[in-house]
Amino acid sequence: MSVVIATFNRASGLAATLNSLSGLATRRAWELIVVDNNSTDDTRHVVDTCALLFRVPVRYVCESRQGRSPALNAGITLARGDIVVTTDDDVRVEPDWLDRIADGMTRLGCDYVGGRVLPIWEAPRPAWLPNHGGKHWAVVALLDYGDHPIEFGTRVPLGVNMAFRRSAFERAGLFDPDTGRKAGTLLGQEVREWCIRARAAGLRGCYVPEIAVRHVIPAARLRKRYFRRWFYWRGISRALLYERAGLDMESPEHTVPSARAVPHVFGVPRYLFRTALRHAQNWLAALLKRDGVASFDHELWLWFFAGIVSQRWKDRHGPRARAALRPAA
């Protein structure tokens, strides 16, 4: 098995994660690959120091192309294991984590699996953020689909707690560098986009509740400002998927071949404007009722819609769109 971590300028948090991983106790051979995505802190020193705690190979890799997807792809390409596990540089794991992954994958006959991602709150959880699974949990990379296994379809895993048979990447390809997280952005549809390709390739993925990690949630991500920004970038990410593959922007897994045949306004499906109007009305109504939770929910959808409109405008009027309109020489 191979565990791949992509990291960027999180040396202090990375040390705690590596300490947690060093406590893994498994009957299987495994290795750890840490991919440094152009960090300017002492990430290399942290990896070299923490490597002394491990009884398995720890490999340090540099990836110059910025972004989580290129970094993960670099680690996956170098991985020697028949199962490749991806996680982040701010997690804590139980000693039997790898055994639970391998056992769940075998028991359910899956090509890839994902599991629970539970919180370690670094600050008090705000009242408008539920202490259980839901759409807001995705913003801070948390996930809990319940106590029973399910097959991924309309629901997707989180890359912080996923594992893949090597053959899955051979059939579906690696992560798309254009839809994953990059410094300065909150793009984040690389796992969803990969899962769509995986299903098209006939691969099967399952949620395994026994596979769990704890994810550190910093105080900066527990503010409404961060949630607004995240939903705005989610709209941009979904618009990118729509431009590239015609995937529905609200529910990409439900896309039908005629998705582009519906009426559009400024490159955006017209029905989304009606949906935006409904959310705006409900937002105002909730504000008048002083229902802070409901009003924030509707406001976040409007930020999502703003991201869609912004990206669709760029797709229609940006440099690539203008180049496509130029006559051939």
Q: Do 156 and 195 contact (CB within 8 A), yes or no?
A: yes
> Are 187 and 228 in the same domain?
no
Would you place residue 324 in the very low, low, confident or very high pLDDT band (cuts 50, 70, 90)?
very low
Residue 301 and residue 275: Cα distance in Å, rounded? 9
> Are 153 and 294 in the same domain?
no
Would you place residue 160 in the very low, low, confident or very high pLDDT band (cuts 50, 70, 90)?
very high
Q: Do 158 and 211 contact (CB within 8 A), yes or no?
A: no
Would you place residue 325 in the very low, low, confident or very high pLDDT band (cuts 50, 70, 90)?
very low
Average pLDDT, the chain: 91
Residue 327 and residue 211: Cα distance in Å, rounded? 55
- Asked whether residue 327 is assigned to any structural domain, the reply reads no
SS3 content of the chain, % helix, strand, coil (to 5): 45, 20, 35
Q: Residue 66's Cα: distance from chain center in Å?
A: 16
Burial-class residue 190 by CB neighbours within 10 Å (0-12, 13-18, 19+): buried
> Are 245 and 161 in the same domain?
no
Is pLDDT of 198 > 50?
yes
5-37 pLDDT per residue, tens: 999 999 989 999 999 999 999 989 999 999 999
Is pLDDT of 308 > 50?
yes
pLDDT, residue 10, reads 93
Instruction: Determine which of 67-76, 156-165, 181-190 has the lowest per-residue pLDDT on average.
Output: 181-190
Q: What is the dihedral of CA 229, 187, 93, 213, to 10 degrees?
A: 70
Domain end position, chosen among 167, 191, 222: 222
Domain end position, chosen among 222, 247, 277: 222
> Are 145 and 127 in the same domain?
yes
Domain end position, chosen among 202, 222, 242: 222
> Are 90 and 232 in the same domain?
no
Q: Do 112 and 40 contact (CB within 8 A), yes or no?
A: no
In terms of Cα–Cα distance, which of 60, 62, 73, 52 is closest to 34?
60
The mean per-residue pLDDT over the stretch 159-176 comes to 97
> Are 170 and 296 in the same domain?
no
> Are 214 and 273 in the same domain?
no
- Asked whether residue 325 is assigned to any structural domain, the reply reads no
- Asked whether residue 324 is assigned to any structural domain, the reply reads no
CATH number, residue 216: 3.90.550.10
- For residue 30, give the DSSP letter: -
pLDDT, residue 258, reads 55
101: containing domain: 2-222
265-306 pLDDT per residue, tens: 989 999 999 999 999 999 999 999 999 889 999 999 999 999
Number of domains into which the chain is organized: 2
- The 3-state DSSP class for residue 218 equals coil
Q: Residue 168's Cα: distance from chain center in Å?
A: 18
> Are 244 and 271 in the same domain?
yes
- Asked whether residue 326 is assigned to any structural domain, the reply reads no
Would you place residue 319 in the very low, low, confident or very high pLDDT band (cuts 50, 70, 90)?
low
> Are 254 and 304 in the same domain?
yes
Is pLDDT of 127 > 90?
no
> Are 191 and 238 in the same domain?
no
Is pLDDT of 323 > 50?
no
pLDDT, residue 91, reads 97
> Are 86 and 155 in the same domain?
yes
- Asked whether residue 108 is assigned to any structural domain, the reply reads yes
- Asked whether residue 167 is assigned to any structural domain, the reply reads yes
Residue 298 and residue 228: Cα distance in Å, rounded? 11
Is pLDDT of 45 > 60?
yes
> Are 247 and 150 in the same domain?
no
In terms of Cα–Cα distance, which of 260, 259, 250, 251 is closest to 305?
250
